Each structure stands twice: as structure tokens, then as C-alpha cells.
Amino acid sequence: MELFTFDDDYVRRLREGDRETEEHFYSYFRDLLHAKLRRKLRSTDAIEDVRQEVFRRTLERLDQLKDGRKLGPFVNTTCNHVLQEYYRQESRAVSLEDQPDVADTSDLDTAYDTVRNSARVRKVLSTLDKRDSDILRAVFLEEGDKEQICKRYGVDRDYLRVLLHRAKAIFRTAYLRRKSGRRSIFETFGGLTSLLL
């Protein structure tokens, strides 16, 4: 792979959401991150989850990058932080599995939570940018065919991934602001991450 020289103009275009720059960014770092993560993680799902979180955080925090030439190290540092969080989360999950089972909530409580969270989901979707909202609805709620979604929005599969992760990040932020119940959006819809491309 040929090394690319980043600069402030590239980071500015990336920050502004320039489609070609985002596509280049995603394709350039996709393989680099995969090579790094496959040595550190066991499953392909974990690799993909961490890699997409690295993309999301990098794009979200570009304003912290003062020198565009250091985009590569910035992505690498972000990856290291996400990996550390992943390891901590995994160790907590393992220790929780050792705990005795807690009694399940009643069917009525579960149904109530689902209805309440569904209402929150609809409310949050109504506050998002129309394109982000439409993409989230098409992929996650309608479980539409990804090829058809790409055609409908005029994007390729790689760029659809970038759009999905940006839309999910916006949605997650808005949802968590409104959330007051115990269950999360991911529990409500049975783990949206399994529906990723």
C-alpha cells in the first residue's frame, strides 16, 4: 500500500463532509486498521465493531487535530483508545457472566419498555436530518436491501457504511439525551449492530 501524505486541506474537506475525501479516508484506513486489529482481536465482528467506532470517533473529533499532517497518528491513537475500552468492556462482560442470574422482568414490563422506547425512537428520528433519519429507518427499522438503499441515495457500499455510522452517532447522542428508562435502543431493537453491512 502506498502511503498518503495528509494535510490541513484534506482534514478540512473531511470535516466538511466532502464525499470523495470521506471515501478516500475510509478506503485508506480500512485495511490499515484491519491489519492492526486482527492481531489484537479474535472475531471478525469485534474487528469490524472497533474499526467502525474508530472511524466514528475520528470524524467526530477532527476539530481536535491541529496539524493535518498528523491524521495517521491521530487515527492510530484513536484506535488504541477504542481498543482499551473494548478490552475493559470484555473483561466486565466476562465477570458478569460469573454472577448468578437475576430474575427476568415480567412480560408486561418488557412490553411496556418496548413501546416506550419505540416512541422515543420515533421522536428522536423526527429530530434528525432527513437523510440521516431516512437511512436509519431504511436499514434498521425497515431492514431494507442494502443495494437498493445505495441506489436510492446514490452511494456505494463503503460510503453507505460511513453515512450509517455518522447517522448512528447523531442518533445515539440525541437518544441518550432523551433516555430516562433502563433499556437502551440496542436492546429495544435486538442489537442493531448485527444488522450492519
How crowded is residue 144: how many other Cβ atoms within 10 Å of its Cβ?
Answer: 14
| Residue 79 domain boundaries | 8-97
Q: What is the mean pLDDT of residues 188-197?
A: 38
pLDDT, position 193: 38
Number of separate domains in the chain: 2
Domain final position from 47, 69, 97: 97
Would the pLDDT of 53 be above 90?
A: yes
Would the pLDDT of 25 be above 70?
A: yes
Q: In angstroms, what CA-CA distances link 88 with 58, 93, 94, 114?
A: 20, 9, 10, 29
Would the pLDDT of 103 be above 50?
A: no
90: nearest Cα among 55, 41, 129, 44:
41
| Domain co-membership, 23 together with 88 | yes
- Higher pLDDT, residue 4 or 94: 4
- The model's pTM: 0.48
Domain final position from 45, 72, 97: 97
Mean pLDDT computed over every residue of the chain: 75
| Domain co-membership, 118 together with 77 | no
Q: Evaluate whether residue 1 is within a structural domain.
A: no
| Domain co-membership, 30 together with 74 | yes
pLDDT-derived band at 42 (thresholds 50, 70, 90) equals confident
How crowded is residue 54: how many other Cβ atoms within 10 Å of its Cβ?
Answer: 23
Domain final position from 71, 97, 123: 97
How far apart, in whole angstroms, are the C-alpha atoms of residue 156 and residue 139? 14
